[in-house]
Structure 1
């Protein structure tokens, strides 16, 4: 597969039709929307997420999101910073309590565009979520105020904790990604 890049986001090698569609939509959005890295719900926005793997690479750290009341990977808004890998790592630190996290690759792991439901403060909108792969190195996990809880979830038990396709994609993409990008 070919790899292409968006300067503020990084390089991505789409692996299938879903990946190609998400990547094209993200490229189109970043090209056409001047506030792509802001937080405007009227236009949607780019977000950065972190799949933080355990040291043995058998579990992923998930957060039980306070507002959405579901289990997800760590991550958040760029808040105007057009450096999505930085945002993903910053959010991983802020939301996990870990003292040391290392990137497993400079490559984008996944792109997932999904709707965030409306609430009293914001209308429903799209998150153009760019995901990177990390590994926990040191520290104990401590939930932030944005979470009900944190948990190391074994990859073999992911479906028992979440039905989110955006999280379950980790299980299918991890081994091929590590083989291709992390040798």
Structure 2
């Protein structure tokens, strides 16, 4: 999704690329699979800022967010318009993104319609999966925990068929692979540190 008011320009973004490398190099993975995905993503990033754009067919970094309600007792998922599965919010990096956490927060705000979301800038997971971009590519998806303000009301975006709040132990079907595993590290992030309004 495009950021309102941002003129489309070249997506190599050196500032975002530097932030992404710093975040991933300093991150303690939450699982052995996440550690492998982190290492492969750092290898991908060696090709430079071009790896942040969807045009990079060999693979590109994306940012997503598991949104929790103010009590941490429900998670917000979207029924993706293309994949027809329930999944966390997120997507491609855009020219105006300066940090990876900022990209995830922007995507979560755009796709939920909720103002005042707060994010933990420490990832909760990294996952690599095949996608149809450019006729076939890979998303190196870096995932974050996001907290909604009390009384938050969501609104379905153009990219989703539906949005819904669900208890962490009763997630909807069909569920995208990897979404359920985000719940424990997201709840741990809420206990670890206050989430920030701006990364």
Using the TM superposition, give the Cα deviation of residue 176 of structure 1 relative to its aligned residue in structure 2, in angstroms.
4.2
Look up the match of 2:50.
35
Q: What are structure 1's unaligned runs of at least 5 residues?
A: 1-5
Confirm or deny that 1:166 pairs with 2:178. yes
Aligned pair partner of 2:148 in 103, 125, 136: 136
Using the TM superposition, give the Cα deviation of residue 15 of structure 1 relative to its aligned residue in structure 2, in angstroms.
3.2
**For 2:189 and 2:160, how far apart are their aligned partners in 1?**
28
**For 1:61 and 1:174, how far apart are their aligned partners in 2?**
12
Contact 2:79–2:162 under 8 Å retained in 1: yes
**For 1:24 and 1:115, how far apart are their aligned partners in 2?**
17
Confirm or deny that 1:146 pairs with 2:162. no
Using the TM superposition, give the Cα deviation of residue 101 of structure 1 relative to its aligned residue in structure 2, in angstroms.
0.6
**For 1:136 and 1:97, how far apart are their aligned partners in 2?**
11
- Higher strand share goes to which structure? 1
Using the TM superposition, give the Cα deviation of residue 106 of structure 1 relative to its aligned residue in structure 2, in angstroms.
2.2
- How many residues are paired up? 172
Look up the match of 1:78.
93
- Which deviates further from its counterpart, 85-94 or 31-40? 31-40
Look up the match of 1:182.
193
Look up the match of 2:10.
none
**For 1:15 and 1:135, how far apart are their aligned partners in 2?**
19
**For 1:87 and 1:174, how far apart are their aligned partners in 2?**
17
Aligned pair partner of 1:94 in 81, 85, 110: 110
**For 2:127 and 2:18, how far apart are their aligned partners in 1?**
18
Confirm or deny that 1:59 pairs with 2:74. yes
Change (3 A) 1:115 1:82: farther
Contact 1:41–1:124 under 8 Å retained in 2: no
Using the TM superposition, give the Cα deviation of residue 82 of structure 1 relative to its aligned residue in structure 2, in angstroms.
5.3
Q: What are structure 2's unaligned runs of at least 5 residues?
A: 1-16, 195-199
Contact 2:30–2:185 under 8 Å retained in 1: no
Q: TM-score, normalised by structure 1?
A: 0.84
Look up the match of 1:21.
36
Confirm or deny that 1:12 pairs with 2:27. yes
